Amino acid sequence: MHLILDLDGVLITNPSWEADRIHSDGYSDFNESCVENLNRLLTLAEFDIWLSSTRRTVKSLTEFNLIFKNRGIKNKIVGFLPEYMNCKNRKEEVLKFIVEFELSYFLIIDDDKSLNGLENEIKEKLILTELTKGFNSEKLKEATEKIKNFS
């Protein structure tokens, strides 16, 4: 199962008008309860994590995996969504990625409202979070239900 994962509004829940709280490793802090919920989700299936966050363009995969490890996230990131030219928004990026890699079993966790425009078949696999709430227990429950429906 592929997990297309954003950071801001999912694991990083600072309001956009405030500066990020910084972890001891010098990178933005993650919301601890959102991390706990992600770790619970990661026990429900074998996930390959693909980072969709625009932050993927400023750090390497190795650096992000260290950041995840420092915050107690159990799974490594296997890759970044490619930086597709001519994509206007996250919806277009995610759609291109799903088509290019011929994904069938995937879950998207993101707060980007452009994803509301996905076709229903794909949108059924979307967990749309809110910026300051992130991947909270309500969204974990929603994700758990979606995974059960995949089986």
Distance CA 16, CA 30 (A): 14
Count other Cβ atoms within 10 Å, centred on residue 7: 21
For residue range 10-65, what is the model confidence (pLDDT) as tens digits?
A: 999 999 889 999 999 999 999 999 999 999 999 999 999 999 999 999 999 999 99
Strand positions, DSSP E, 6-141:
48-51, 77-80, 106-110, 126-128
- Does position 140 have pLDDT exceeding 80, yes or no? yes
The pTM of this model reads: 0.96
Check residue 16 and give its pLDDT: 84
> Contact, 107 vs 1, CB < 8 A?
yes
> Which domains does the chain carry?
2-150 (3.40.50.1000)
Q: Where does the pLDDT of residue 151 fall: very low under 50, low under 70, confident under 90, or very high at 90 and above?
A: low
Which residues fall within 8 angstroms of residue 92, CB to CB, at 6 or more apart?
84, 114
